[in-house]
Structure 1
Amino acid sequence: MSAPWLTVIGIGEDGLDGLSGVAKRALAEAQFVIGGKRHLELAGSLSCETVSWPSPFAEGLKLIDARRGAATVVLATGDPMCFGLGATLSRRYPADEMTVLPVPSAFSLAAARLDWPLEEVETLSVHGRPLDRLRAHLHPGARLLCLTSNAEAPRRAADLLADEGYGASRMTVLEHMGGARERIVSGTAESWHEEVADFHLLAIEAIAVRDTPVRSRLAGLPDDAFRHDGKITKREIRAATLAKLAPHPGALLWDIGAGSGSIAIEWMRAAPRAKAIALEPDAGRRAFAIANAAALGVPDLDLRDAAAPEGLDGLPVPDAIFLGGGLTAEGIVPAAIAALKPGGRLVANAVTLESEAVLLKAYEAHGGELCRLSIARAGRVGGFTGWRPLMPVTQWSFVKP
């Protein structure tokens, strides 16, 4: 094909007036235009075939596929590559077949209205996603710009903020930015009662009360931040383990024998877009892990009722693997090493002699680092204070060549 046949046009509340000449020409020359009902109304009268995006969503993609090569326009909101349809289409069509023409995103418009430097703000989407994702971004002084799903979202966000100890936070809802119906409504989370439009952006200035716990994104949350039955990697060991696993943006972790999910949860909190698949065969512990993931802001944790090595079949290739349980299962270490991509990291912790023997053999066979971690916490001993040791942990870490 000599030129892109697919044009993705971002359109704002000002409709055609806000489009560039290039975007207007693409609309005028299009043979087929597809977009949401609101987008088509904003675009006005068009001379070509137009279709409102159908449900289910995949049916719209099929309509675009059927017209491949013909001049096609997809209408989207604002900047299509910012939590928008453009990202979906870019995974489907190569760059030389597609032109993207954005207008200012909702984030840019909101930052301009609020006088917030955009580089000092966290932007996220809870549109069609669990609102619990907000929890991972809360800290005193945080400024958040959030794409939401509907008019109920601010009320639910206010309840969440109050639940987390951020009831004094200032919330601002910016409706229909850039158009004739633009409206800005503000209030505090603890007293929020405003009725707002479905189409809006939610801005939050996080204000914590004095005793609100600060939950850092660095590894090592307090043990009592998690619900568990005692099967949890303790705080200090967890921090040392995550340091060896080295989470980074977009990386995938397999957490094998996840227990309460503490390692997988802190992995996902530590880096943007980090993902984790957690295997845990015990139903009670999976229930703890599900609750912990939601409470700590990573409800997208992929938790599975499975054990290794059989539960590893068909999983996407990981960047890192944590073996927190099941070390004595036949073939678990070789299976984990085989699954890793080159440069991938494996960390295994053992507290029993039997598991420690497995790690010693792995160290002798593959190298890496073998260390013992011993932690003691101060506690009352009668009328005095003494050290109470935790069970020592033998840790093997390995980077695949």
Structure 2
Amino acid sequence: MTELWLQIIGIGEDGLAGLSPDTRAALGAAEVIVGGARHHALASDEALAAAAARGEVGWAGAGAPDASSARPAVERIRWPSPFNALVERIAGFEGRRTVVLVTGDPLWFSAGARLAEAFPDAVIHPQLSAFQLAAARLGWRFESCTPLTVHGRDAVAIRPHVQPGARLLILASGPETAAEVGALLVEDGYGASPLRALSHVNGPKEAWTEAPAHAWGEGRLPPHPGLTTLAVACVAGPEARLAPAVPGLADDLFAHDGVMTKREVRAMTLARLAPLPGGMLWDVGCGCGSVAVEWMRAARGARAVGIEPRADRRALAAANARRLGTPGLEIREGTAPDALAGLPAPDAVFLGGGLSEAAVDAARAALRPRGRLVANAVTLESEALLLALHGRLGGDLTRISISRAAPVGTRTGWRPSMDVTQWSLET
């Protein structure tokens, strides 16, 4: 591979002026420049020629002082369509000095991160991110903010991060994103939260608009420009839903038909499943999806596949995934072990339904190293199976007994729920 043939450069609204001398030199030496229309405009031939005339960058392209003795004209490439062809297209330029221009920090919610994985020898030229610029304009301590993106994603994904006092910085997907986010905040009881849309920060077109979330959600403000960062200071109203990332959400936050893993048992189950960033869960017999949803909320980038034979419960799981901000939950029809074939390898498996030796064996065979398997039982038959599995495979057995205070005539007493036997195993 030609040494240093690929350079990934983050560029901001201030264009060439915001680049370091080394970065400008890499751009000026490029034989191929790849980027979107906006990136090419910020680093146009005219801009590079003007910088060369000032001695700020070497440039042998159109308009350069030494263009007559220059190398061949620079080839400019727009983002390929479909965008997924980006890696293959750029690989074809190997051996030529190639620059890819991206917005802001190349490794933060950017195509630059995908390219860095595909081409580990690429040189990365960092830039201030839209998050940092927005925080600076607002005077927010950056470590107290949560950076998010809904660019090309469902806006409901912000919901796990909407908490009293939270400060969210959100990359918008398009002109209507502020209205979508405002409507979500109103629905969750945060309609009074100040929401500021900051556009083209640090450039000549910089502008911002601020209003309460409910004003955005009601469509009383014009659409913001497409290149916008939303800043939300979350203010919980009296009707706000409290839905922290810690497992054990209130049962009434889920739509269900009465059959679900209840709050206390769910918290203990998730503690055994141990959600980790980027981890994959199989939720077998997922019902209304409560365990899978909480798994995804508990760790950044956590993924889950729910297996459920009943269509009505799959519909409940899909509704809960949107309601609680995990639209990426994949829900499949089927029963174990047959439905487990071909799924992505799991880091954890929960058998909340469809418990059988065959399902356990299939799950164990699929688990990654340090994988966790958890099964819950409430019937005598299922408990007997867990006892047998514990005898054969080891692991931990736990009996979970929950009682709640309830009226007893004119007084109050403890009303027990059905005991749950829980078996857990680490591979």
TM-score range, shorter chain: over 0.9
Shift of 1:384: 2.2
* Contact 2:197/2:208, CA 8 A, preserved across alignment: yes
Match of 1:19 in 2: 19
Shift of 1:189: 0.9
**CA deviation digits over 1:85-112, x for unaligned, max 9?**
111112322x22x011121000110111
Q: Which amino acid aligns with 2:236?
A: A
Match of 1:35 in 2: 35
Give identity over the alignment, percent: 51
Match of 2:272 in 1: 244
Describe the SS at the equivalent of 1:331: helix
Q: Within 1, Cα distance between the matches of 2:299 and 2:88?
A: 34
Match of 2:420 in 1: 393
**CA deviation digits over 1:155-214, x for unaligned, max 9?**
111111111000100001111011000012111112233322111100000001123231
Q: Within 2, Cα distance between the matches of 1:155 and 1:171?
A: 10
Q: Which amino acid aligns with 2:124?
A: V
- The question of 1:318 aligning with 2:346 is answered yes
Alignment of 1:2-401 (within 5 A): 3-45=3-45, 47=61, 48-93=74-119, 95-96=120-121, 98-192=122-216, 193-195=220-222, 196-328=224-356, 331-400=358-427
Task: Please report the RMSD computed on the Cα atoms of aligned residues, expressed in angstroms.
Answer: 1.3
**CA deviation digits over 1:357-380, x for unaligned, max 9?**
211111001111112111122222
Q: Within 1, Cα distance between the matches of 2:87 and 2:300?
A: 28
Shift of 1:148: 1.1
Shift of 1:15: 0.9
Q: Within 2, Cα distance between the matches of 1:264 and 1:58?
A: 29
TM-score normalised to structure 1 length: 0.96
Q: Within 2, Cα distance between the matches of 1:11 and 1:283?
A: 48
Q: Which amino acid aligns with 2:408?
A: V
Q: Which amino acid aligns with 1:161?
A: L
Q: Which amino acid aligns with 2:368?
A: K
Q: Which amino acid aligns with 1:298?
A: T
Describe the SS at the equivalent of 1:91: helix
Cα 1:59–1:367 change in 2 (3 A) is closer
Q: Which amino acid aligns with 1:373?
A: I
Q: Which amino acid aligns with 2:200?
A: H
Describe the SS at the equivalent of 2:118: coil
Q: Within 2, Cα distance between the matches of 1:139 and 1:351?
A: 34
Q: Which amino acid aligns with 2:221?
A: E
Cα 1:213–1:59 change in 2 (3 A) is closer
Q: Within 2, Cα distance between the matches of 1:56 and 1:343?
A: 38
Q: Within 2, Cα distance between the matches of 1:240 and 1:265?
A: 15
Gaps of 5+ in 1: none
Shift of 1:2: 5.2
**CA deviation digits over 1:271-305, x for unaligned, max 9?**
11111111112111111001101111111112212
Describe the SS at the equivalent of 1:243: helix
How many aligned residue pairs are there?
397
Q: Which amino acid aligns with 1:366?
A: L
* Contact 2:87/2:118, CA 8 A, preserved across alignment: no
Describe the SS at the equivalent of 1:3: coil
Shift of 1:21: 1.5
* Contact 2:2/2:95, CA 8 A, preserved across alignment: no
Describe the SS at the equivalent of 2:231: strand
Q: Which amino acid aligns with 1:137?
A: H
Q: Which amino acid aligns with 1:309?
A: P
* Higher-Rg member (1/2): 2
* Contact 2:197/2:229, CA 8 A, preserved across alignment: yes
10-19 or 205-214, larger mean C-alpha shift: 205-214
Match of 2:64 in 1: none
Shift of 1:77: 0.1
**CA deviation digits over 1:323-357, x for unaligned, max 9?**
100013x5111111111122111110011122112
Q: Within 1, Cα distance between the matches of 2:307 and 2:93?
A: 42
Describe the SS at the equivalent of 1:73: strand
* Contact 2:373/2:424, CA 8 A, preserved across alignment: yes
Q: Within 1, Cα distance between the matches of 2:199 and 2:358?
A: 57
Q: Within 1, Cα distance between the matches of 2:341 and 2:97?
A: 43
* Contact 2:80/2:89, CA 8 A, preserved across alignment: no
63-72 or 34-43, larger mean C-alpha shift: 63-72
Q: Within 1, Cα distance between the matches of 2:81 and 2:108?
A: 22
Q: Within 2, Cα distance between the matches of 1:63 and 1:345?
A: 40
241-250 or 57-66, larger mean C-alpha shift: 57-66
